[in-house]
Amino acid sequence: MMIPAFRLYALLAFACSAIAITPANAADAAALEGALDVLTAHVNKSKTLTTEEIASELETLNTNAAAIGEDAASIENVIEFINAYDARHKPLFIGKKQLHQKKKDSSDTIHWAAFWAMQHLFDQVYHSKGLKKYGDLIGSLKFRTADYFPGKVEAPINPEAYTVTINGSYPDVWGSPQFQDERPAVKPTGAYLVPGTTATIIVPESLVGRGYQVRVGAHSWDLEKKPRVERLFRVSALYDIDSTEVRVANPLGGGIYIEVPPGADAGIVEVAVKNAARSPYFSWKHFHRTSLKEWRESERHHKAPWTDFQSDKFMVQVPTSWIYKMDDPATYMNEWDLSMDRMNDLMGRPHLFGRETVYTQVDTQLRGRAFHPGYPGVNAGYDPRKDYGGYHNHHLVRGPRNAHSYEFHEKGHGFLFPKYAGDREAAVNLPHVAVMSQAFGMDLDAAFRSSRGEKNDFRTLDTTAIAWMMSQNFVEDGFMKPYERQYQLKGHAKYVDVARLFGWHMLGRFWESTHADYEAGNSWPKDVRDDDSDRYTVRLSKVTGADLRPLLHFWGIPPHDFEKQAKAIHDLGIQPSQAVYDTLAHYKSLIPEDRGAFRKYAKSWWEKQPNEDGYTTERNHAAYWESYDKAVAEKVRGTLQKIMDTYFPDGRPES
């Protein structure tokens, strides 16, 4: 019988996509068993199902998945189906390269059935209670898709105890909260669980019953909301440390980590792992440093699919095929540590706190719809089928000097620092500028430009000022709208100007003062506006010892209440700044004199004639392509002169 396309699509959409499982007390164990029996028979070719019939049985499986683990038989039935599928088909994502939750293909239905059988079994029993109860059943199970992700393990299993030291403390640290600092601190062991085996983790009594856990598989993010499906959604198993010996399993295998809860204070402790393989691990912690000899002769040659690099300040997991020819991880880690220091200096934070400043990892795809902060951050993908030759051309291997602008941009989000309303996607570009200029000596304009990935050498702080002055809103009301700031150089140029004039340390002192406010119970809003915006400008002026109102007004942050803000500046005894005056006078001198000068500028800025269909600033410049003349130039100069006259009524200050 021909199945109506709309009916089949609807059934597939329900059966194959992200689902809500019926609670265990309502799940029908008999229906689950029946569905698994029929699916197994189909895979074994003792029964032939139509696509619609497979989808119907899959729907039953998904609806009643909570019954898995109620007894041994429910687990045995799932394992029987998974083993039958693995025997008849190439492993998931190797034979069938990709599944998709929105682009349905009826030929994928049996693959979705196998996918969900594996996922449900993993979710329902691979945890402390499940392994203790059903260890004999599930401890030796391997999902063959493990050879795809996390990857094939060729390293030998060591039945003897391998020991490693970890920091078992995660203290509260001075300052305002950061993104996801409530998540446990992750501590690599350099041990890797081979799928289809169990390992034993031996810990001191000080870790038992205090919220510590063992994680098997570094990739802790759930990807169920992603349309494209390139691995099981959940692949990382957690086991409570409720005894000095903890048995762990994962049918996909994975690196073995100790998770340290916030507030823990066990200090430096030794952990042992039995019956696991070794994975490459370069430790650059203050209490455990891998030597270059150890790395070159041993560590990088361990044949597990994932590698850990960790210092007290930075941690990353990358595919081993990215690094097995990497020769000098010491320099690599020193440069990442230096980058972390410069970011923390900028944000007014200590260099060391309870866990790494940045923890990031590679996965099959990004964890969010775009780049995103996180612990761990996941902003780099890879192809598990590919050998990358041992020294991949990626900044997570080559180091922070080569970092894409997103790396420090996303950490900027993660700092959760207070910023002017509208600066959410602007101020977060500042850490990149600080790192590149302060850690690695990059020219300020080059560092500024690279914070947005710009390759056009014409784009500098000066030419960015012109771009803003050639914008309609500069002349109309002087307020730079949020959409003119986000992901654009002019959005964070004001902070770079402050750093250029008064030093990066002044910005650090400013944000340090906001942490002091938090500790005193006076938190700043994350997006400061109105009176808070004026107060923010006053505080920044107080810290630098210079009246920054005219500079910030120029860059699109006019006062909300001029008189009130002026009084606050006066009461603090803050004087007009000669450096600010000279900067504004310089910017005034850059205004194109006539249409020819403007066109020359615009063509250099855009590397083409600006397009009226572009975004706001490009549209503004496109409008000026024909209309800009000396009268317009005079109007722009008059706008800037008015700002200068407002704050410098007596002209250029003497100091």
> Which of 349, 378, 393 is the last residue before a domain boundary?
393
Same domain for 189 and 89?
A: no
Rounded to an integer, what is the distance from CA 214 to the centroid of its chain?
Answer: 22
> Which of 330, 358, 393 is the last residue before a domain boundary?
393
Question: What integer pLDDT is reported at residue 2 of this predicted model?
Answer: 38
Residue 109 lies in a domain: yes
> How many Å apart are CA 375 and CA 218, to the nearest integer?
11
Residue 457 lies in a domain: yes
- Average per-residue pLDDT for the chain: 95
pLDDT in tens, 513-547: 999 999 999 999 999 999 999 999 999 999 999 99
The stretch 301-323 carries a mean pLDDT of 98
Same domain for 515 and 599?
A: yes
Same domain for 375 and 463?
A: no
Same domain for 388 and 427?
A: no
- % of residues, the chain, pLDDT over 70: 96
Residue 294 lies in a domain: yes
Same domain for 579 and 623?
A: yes
Residue 335 lies in a domain: yes
Residue 130 lies in a domain: no
For residue 119, is pLDDT > 60? yes
pLDDT in tens, 600-619: 999 999 999 999 999 999 99
Query: Is 143 within 8 Å of 114 (Cβ atoms)?
Result: no
Ramachandran class of 626: left when φ > 0, alpha when ψ lies in -120 to 50, beta otherwise: alpha
Angle between the N-to-C axes of helices 630-647 and 461-469, in degrees from 0 to 180, rounded to the nearest 10: 110
> How many Å apart are CA 459 and CA 607, to the nearest integer?
10
Same domain for 485 and 347?
A: no
Nearest CA-CA partner of 479 in 252, 272, 639:
639
Same domain for 265 and 378?
A: yes
For residue 268, is pLDDT > 70? yes
Query: Is 124 within 8 Å of 130 (Cβ atoms)?
Result: yes
Write the CATH number for 343: 2.60.120.1250
Q: Which residue has the higher pLDDT, 7 or 202?
A: 202
Same domain for 303 and 424?
A: no
Residue with tokens 């005219």: 550
Of 20-24, 357-361, 623-627, give the lowest mean pLDDT range: 20-24
Q: Number of C-alpha atoms within 13 angstroms, CB side, residue 235? A: 27
Question: What integer pLDDT is reported at residue 655 of this predicted model?
Answer: 78
Residue 239 lies in a domain: yes
Which domain range does residue 544 map to?
417-647
Q: Per the structure block, which two tokens stand in for 646?
A: 């407002």
Same domain for 309 and 454?
A: no
Residue with tokens 């020193």: 334
Query: Is 264 within 8 Å of 183 (Cβ atoms)?
Result: no
pLDDT in tens, 548-591: 999 999 999 999 999 999 999 999 999 999 999 999 999 999 99
For residue 19, is pLDDT > 80? no
> How many Å apart are CA 198 and CA 249, to the nearest integer?
5
For 293, counting Cβ atoms within 10 Å of its Cβ (0-12 exposed, 13-18 middle, 19+ buried), the class is exposed
Query: Is 192 within 8 Å of 306 (Cβ atoms)?
Result: yes
For residue 7, is pLDDT > 50? no
Query: Is 240 within 8 Å of 213 (Cβ atoms)?
Result: yes
pLDDT-based confidence at residue 4 (cuts at 50, 70, 90): very low
pLDDT in tens, 183-209: 999 999 999 999 999 999 999 999 999
For residue 25, is pLDDT > 80? no
Same domain for 450 and 361?
A: no
User: Which are the contacts of 298, defined by CB distance < 8 A and separation ≥ 6?
Assistant: none
Number of domains in the chain: 3
Residue 180 lies in a domain: yes
Same domain for 426 and 376?
A: no
pTM more than 0.85: yes
> How many Å apart are CA 416 and CA 175, to the nearest integer?
11
User: Which are the contacts of 504, defined by CB distance < 8 A and separation ≥ 6?
Assistant: 345, 346, 434, 437, 438
Same domain for 460 and 389?
A: no
C-alpha angle 357-359-363 in degrees, rounded to nearest 5: 160
pLDDT in tens, 340-392: 999 999 999 999 988 999 999 999 999 988 999 999 999 999 999 999 999 99
> How many Å apart are CA 48 and CA 27, to the nearest integer?
26
Residue 138 lies in a domain: no
Q: Per the structure block, which two tokens stand in for 565?
A: 């803000």
